[in-house]
Structure 1
Amino acid sequence: FEVVGHKWADFAEYGFGVSLLNDCKYGYSCHGNVLRLSLLRAPKRPDDKADIHQHFFRYALLPHSSCENAFFFFYTFQSANVIGHAYALNSPLLTIPTRGELPKKSIGLFKVSTSQVVLETVKRAEDDNSLILRFYEAFGGRCQCDVWINGLMAIKDALYCNLLEDAIKGDKIHLEKSDTGNTFSMYLEPFEVKSVKLCW
């Protein structure tokens, strides 16, 4: 039977596995040793011509092996960085020609301390000039993480908000300021989504 999935599905056993990545299809099914990606969905309602046009999509197979450490031998999609590869396929690097010298190093705007937490969305707030950051816990476990914000962004305050971007009262974020930027810590439950509003 088919299940919904965004960006990737992983099929693995002890020691090795394969992930099926894609950039726009949302149905996966698995039967025996076959992992399938649904290419078309053709319901008759509400649009009787749904998916009846030309389609363009990208997909990739990512074979991977297990991970070994000093205590035990294990495989997880986490150690193979499947989520990172899926995001790389969905958001390829864009190059822009410029003049001048190459920078000595790359500088990001945000950095999350663990791959267990994904910064999924960076967007302007709907009602003001604030910036909304939306995170989710991706591995199915509790997690404490640190988020670094580049000092080039003059952040005055940060607060948790709901999906409608309304502030959550009593849930204050403590920003630690330094020469290179601001840092805050947050705790997430398994698969939890958290939104943070950055105010200028």
Structure 2
Amino acid sequence: ENGVPTYEIPFGSQKRKQSQQEIPALKWADLSDEKRGLTLVNAEKYGHSCVDNTLRLTLIRSSYEPDPLPEIANHEIRFAVIPHIGPLEVPAAIRAGESFNSPMAVVSAPVQKGNLPAEKSFVECLTPNVFISAVKKAEDSEALVIRMFECEGKETAAKIRITDLVKPGSKAVETDVLERPLAKNSAKMDGDVLTVTVPAFGQATVKIG
């Protein structure tokens, strides 16, 4: 009866009081107590409100100036409601939001032997409370850059397995968002596994090459 609403924000989440006021959220919002809860996952609809233990999603909000009828059209609205037992688990909500907004693509291909295993990840995060937000080529070299964030509010030694994207013996360097090396470097490679310390509710960027 005393549910706490939680809303996804960039690289994290924010608990708020129940309020009639509309609150923005990215891919999900959740209303939970210690025993149970509901996660509301959305696609491209960001206005939420929560009052009287009811979590609401605004489907259409229209302005009246300068165009008095700006939303007259066919609208496709996608959302999902996911019940759960126990309090909110933020990593599970993040995964649900990502899966709903970026579903697996199915591609038809001819029958072939292929040279890859049936299951493979080029970059795989092995730490449940850390999520990869970007994998890219470095701006000034051929090095690989990986960005990540921590979602549960605890400093974490994140482990990420990297397959076939970097050369054996590559070194890992922790950088700022402009890819400039930091004075303090917690990143290191052990075989194909990268380890780096991610601050509580913080981000880390690592250049490997």
Q: Distance in 2 between matches of 1:95 and 1:114?
A: 27
Quick one: percent identity of the two aligned structures? 25
- TM-score w.r.t. the length of structure 1 is 0.77
> Residue 78 of structure 2 is aligned with which of 48, 58, 61?
58
Kept after mapping to 2: 8 A contact 1:18/1:62: yes
> Residue 165 of structure 2 is aligned with which of 153, 163, 170?
153
1:89 and 2:109 correspond: no
Q: SS where residue 10 of structure 1 aligns?
A: strand
Q: Distance in 1 between matches of 2:64 and 2:145?
A: 37
Aligned CA-pair RMSD: 2.7
Q: SS where residue 22 of structure 1 aligns?
A: strand
Q: Distance in 2 between matches of 1:96 and 1:20?
A: 29
Task: Report what 1:185 is aligned to.
Answer: 195
1:77 and 2:89 correspond: yes
Q: Distance in 2 between matches of 1:126 and 1:64?
A: 42
1:61: Cα distance to partner? 0.7
Distance 1:91 1:32, change over 3 A: same
1:111-133 CA deviation, whole Å, 9 max, x = no partner? 22222001122223344433321
Q: Distance in 2 between matches of 1:161 and 1:120?
A: 15
Q: SS where residue 153 of structure 1 aligns?
A: coil
1:104: Cα distance to partner? 4.9
1:41: Cα distance to partner? 5.8
- TM-score w.r.t. the length of structure 2 is 0.74
Supply the AA of the counterpart residue of 2:181.
A
1:39-58 alignment runs, 5 A limit: 39-40=59-60, 52-53=70-71, 54=73, 55-58=75-78
Q: Distance in 1 between matches of 2:104 and 2:166?
A: 26
Q: Distance in 1 between matches of 2:113 and 2:147?
A: 34
Q: Which runs of 5+ in 1 are unaligned?
A: 67-74
How many pairs are equivalent? 182
